[in-house]
Structure 1
């Protein structure tokens, strides 16, 4: 017999409303389905609407009647109120969203257990502002807003019954708060993980050819280090490394990257593949063809790229941001150099093009770690963290 326990989820992502249709972020919607499957009770989604432009990909459209969970829509500038949470036993709210930092106090007043999920650390928020290039005074004001917001965030966390920290950077930042649970975000199910046979075949291909296959995927923006990829390719070419780099994604750096590739005559080595479907194109392609991922993220946010790359048995070379360093502390799955040390990254790639055994050893470490953190396992652990509050 199903329990009547109600879990209410107040995410940071919005929903888009198109007449009678609701358009969700696909990753968020898949997560909701996991909550429904694992939670012994019912699920309510308390979510803001958005009138911003829809993402180019990664969405799913549903009618209200199709939803397997209760939904409450809040206007884009509205706030979660007591009536939205009434009847809940547990609330899981986004701790990254400034507009939700009052939720733990509402829950305390209503006798509801409250857990915040958190991804970004203050350093990352400051980095984002600095990258915007808004001028000294405006940047200072925004940093002050972040500083004040962080005080509110920590105050809200004191009223909460627990935290769920996405990635090592957030966990290390907030682990002193009671009942802090570490998880690594991913979209990879068990059945998508690279198999032993697939990995053996890729190793055979690596041994049979001289060319080292590199890849990057994600938004082509400065914060993700996209502007350093072509510079890295230039250094590898100068060193005489036999390589091919495939860059998946789209963003504001794409046109300048394309021009750089042409100006440096790197077309034979570097391919801008554009934005591709995650499940049907990206994952099958990198599983079969990529030896090493290049992740030059300047910031320490818990990008899905890390775990999803490891799930394909691909090690990572990247900048030593706090998210990647925290991952390396837990698993020997790659190599790090200080942020903006493109020469250091190029040196590592050059070394691996000669020492392929090192590459294959860390590929095995990658999939071993990923098997412990697939989508289903991660969600079950998060659900248990929530349900334990009621025991």
Structure 2
């Protein structure tokens, strides 16, 4: 190992290669930069590559302006053997389990979803009873390797409450963090929502238009409210495979805003147009949109599962209903419409939580954890 401590970050998503330009997802590159700001040495990023770039929400960076070294198309354990880092951080996924065999004392995993959450996500995409049976059997078969890899690793960084509550007991050095990209200055400038008492609650939905994000629940909610005689409106942010279906199903009061650049357009639009964010995500993954809404003083109405329930129950930052229950969503919105001060109170609670979890503070805590593991 070199005298200068090296942090190896293993990415699962590809980096676009276009001549001397490298393309990164904006959320990914912003996170890499925050790691670079906090780590007291050299950073190497290992990732698969893809040809070209230029996605609407991607960022192009000249290769000679990167704040880290980039190692492309290497198996994670091969990259670790080549770089000889003080510590390596990688997503907890089967493709990366070999890292704990390379050197478990220098391997830290990022855990996004526990086994139960992974099963739920995969089942949501199954189309037949046979597919669901095969998925369940596959999860059960992979469980021993899942648990063994966490136990062997030097530490685990759990993104959100679901993975933390399910699997922190397996790790010798677990930490809880909340992954988002809202800096403290944006949180400090936010105020809790103050809905008009003369107009209906302005609803929002934000997320990819795919089954596991539940956009159809949002559309059905508006239809249910209007069937009850309420003048409901909703702005839907995002895009995806279900967009044509959502466009066909969206009735009066639904505005499809599309996928907006986060800082430049999404933040000001949500501040201007949303009193309550409806995030009916049926799966319990650690969605950053919960946090991003909280950071703007906007409370959330969501489904009751391991990822969201603690925000509603323990922090008072929103409300939960049973997964898939459109009528319960509508009941809650109807109640809040009669008592809009509840939205302001929950928005205040949401901001109180986020003031302790600004993006730069979360990354500083993650770097401190890695330094503790590496003893640097």
| TM-score calculated relative to the size of structure 1 | 0.89
| Partner of residue 33, structure 2 | 33
Match of 1:14 in 2: 14
Is the contact between residue 242 and residue 353 of structure 1 (CA under 8 Å) also seen in structure 2?
no
**In the alignment, structure 1 residue 304 sits paired with structure 2 residue 288:** yes
Gap runs ≥5 in structure 2: none
Aligned pairs (5 A) from 1:338-349? 338-349=322-333
Partner of 1:353: 337
Q: What's the counterpart of residue 24 of structure 1?
A: 24
Instruction: Report the Cα offset of residue 305 of structure 1.
Output: 0.5
- Give the deviation of 1:325 after TM superposition: 1.1
For residues 149 and 48 of structure 1, the distance between their equivalents in structure 2, rounded to whole angstroms, comes to 24
How far residue 133 of structure 1 moved from its aligned partner, in angstroms, is 3.0
**C-alpha distance in structure 2 between counterparts of 1:31 and 1:72, whole Å:** 17
Q: In the alignment, which residue of structure 1 is the partner of 2:133?
A: 140
Alpha-carbon offset, residue 59 of structure 1: 1.3
- Cα distance in structure 2, aligned partners of 1:246 and 1:293: 9
Structure 2 residue aligned with 1:199 = 191
Whether the 8 Å contact between 2:235 and 2:273 is mirrored in structure 1 is: no
Q: Does 1:107 align with 2:140?
A: no
Give the superposition deviation at 1:84: 4.5
1:230-285: CA deviations, max 9, x gaps? 11101111222233210011122221222122xxxx32x11111121111111111
Contact between 2:125 and 2:211, CA under 8 Å: does it hold in 1?
A: no
Matched, 1:86 2:83: yes
Bigger shift: residues 175-184 or 147-156: 147-156
Residue pair 2:10, 2:76 contacting (<8 A) in 1 also: no
Deviation of the 1:55 alpha carbon? 8.4
Q: Distance in 2 between matches of 1:55 and 1:65?
A: 18
Q: How many residues align?
A: 372
Separation of aligned partners in 1, 2:336 and 2:197: 15
1:323-342 equivalences in 2 (<5 Å) = 323-342=307-326
Q: Which residue of 2 aligns with 1:245?
A: 234
Q: Which residue of 2 aligns with 1:123?
A: 116
User: Matches of 1:56 and 1:340 in 2, distance apart?
Assistant: 33
Uncovered stretches (5+) of structure 1, i.e. residues with no partner? none
* Equivalence for 2:144: 151
Contact persistence 1:169–1:326 (CA under 8 A): no
| C-alpha contact (below 8 Å) 1:214/1:246 kept by paired residues | yes
Asked whether the 8 Å contact 1:46–1:84 carries over to 2, the reply is no
Matched residue, 1:227: 216
Q: What is the CA-CA distance between 1:370 and the residue it aligns to? A: 0.9
Q: CA RMSD in A?
A: 2.1
Note if contact 1:214-1:244 (Cα within 8 Å) is conserved in structure 2: yes
SS of alignment partner, residue 335 of structure 1: strand
Question: Residue 256 of structure 1: which of 238, 245, 254 is its match?
Answer: 245
| 2:181/2:359 contact within 8 Å kept | yes
Q: TM-score of the superposition, structure 2-length normalised?
A: 0.93
| Partner-residue secondary structure (3-state), 1:24 | strand
Q: Within 5 Å, which residues of 2 pair with 1:162-181?
A: 162-176=155-169, 177-181=171-175
Alpha-carbon contact 1:7-1:91 (below 8 Å) kept: yes
1:34 aligned counterpart, secondary structure: helix
